[in-house]
Amino acid sequence: MRVRIRLFARQREIAGAREVTVELPAFAASPGTPPAGPSTIEDAWAALVVLHPALADGRPYVRFALNGEYAEPETEVGAGDEVACIPPVSGGAGERGAGEIGTGDVGPSVPGPDRILELAPAPLPPDLGRALADRLATPADGAVVIFEGRTRETPGTPAPGEEAEARRHAGRRVEALEYEAFETLAVRVLGEIADAVAARFGVERLAIVHATGEVPLGEISVVIVACAPHRDAAFDAARFAMDETKARAPIWKAERFADGHVWIGQVARTHTPPR
C-alpha cells in the first residue's frame, strides 16, 4: 500500500522534497516470519529513511501526525494515509513549560464571536493587535492584553542538528525570520490551546494570529490578544497562549543571515500538560 509522507523545515531541505510516497505492506513482518501486525507510522519513517538516509539521525527529535492530527509512532496506517513528520518547532526564549485579519480569507482559521485563530501571510499589519482587541473586547472586559512577537537581531537556540550551522553564523546579526507551517494541524492546535485557555483562566475572548513567510527585522510575527474582566486572567491567558503556541503548533522558524540560515526550535510537544 502507498502512504504519503510530508516533510517540513530542515527535513524538507535534507530530502530535497516536500512529499515522499513510500510503499508499505499491509502487515509488517520480517522475511520468513508470520505477520507482526499492521504497518505503523514508525514503519513509514523507516521506509523514508531507506530513501533518504541522512534523515536517520533526526529521529529522536521527530514527532508525527496522521491525516492532520498528532499521532504516536505505533499508530497504524492504511492505504492513502498522510503521515507528517514534525521536526522541532519554533520554540523560543522565555517559555515556562495586509488584508483584513480574522475574516477567514487569508488562510486556515477558526473564527468566531469570541476567538480569532489563524495563520496569515506576512507582513502582519502594524496595528493588528489594536484591531483585534477592538473586535473582541466587550463592555464586561476591564483588561485587554496585547502581545506582539517581533524579529530581533540576536539569534536564538538552534534546532537539533543545526548546531554547526549556528556556529558558522555566531556573532552575526539576524536579518529576517522565515516561518513555515503545517497549516491544517497548526490551526487545529490553536483551537485546542484556546480551549485550554478557557478552561484554565476563564478567558473566552482570545486571538492568536501567526505570520507565515518572511518577517524582516523589527516586524511582527505573532499577535496574541486576551480580553477578560480582570487583569490577572488576561495576562496569564496571553502568556499561556503564546508559550503553548511556540511549544505545540507545527510552525517552524529559520533565522536568516546574509549568507545562510539556521532553523531554530525545540522538540514539539503534542499535548497541553495537565494543570
The tens digit of pLDDT for each residue in 76-100 reads 999 999 999 999 999 744 443 333 3
Kindly give, in sequence order, each residue whose CB lies less than 8 Å from that of residue 131, ignoring residues fewer than 6 positions away.
Answer: 101, 125
Cα distances from 203 to residues 71, 118, 131, 164, in angstroms, run 28, 18, 19, 43
Query: Residues in the chain with pLDDT < 50?
Result: 92-111
Q: What is the pLDDT of residue 95?
A: 41
- The string of pLDDT tens digits covering residues 111-149 is 455 999 999 999 999 999 999 999 999 999 999 999 999
The pTM score is: 0.88
Mean pLDDT of the chain: 91
Grid cell for residue 255: 533565522
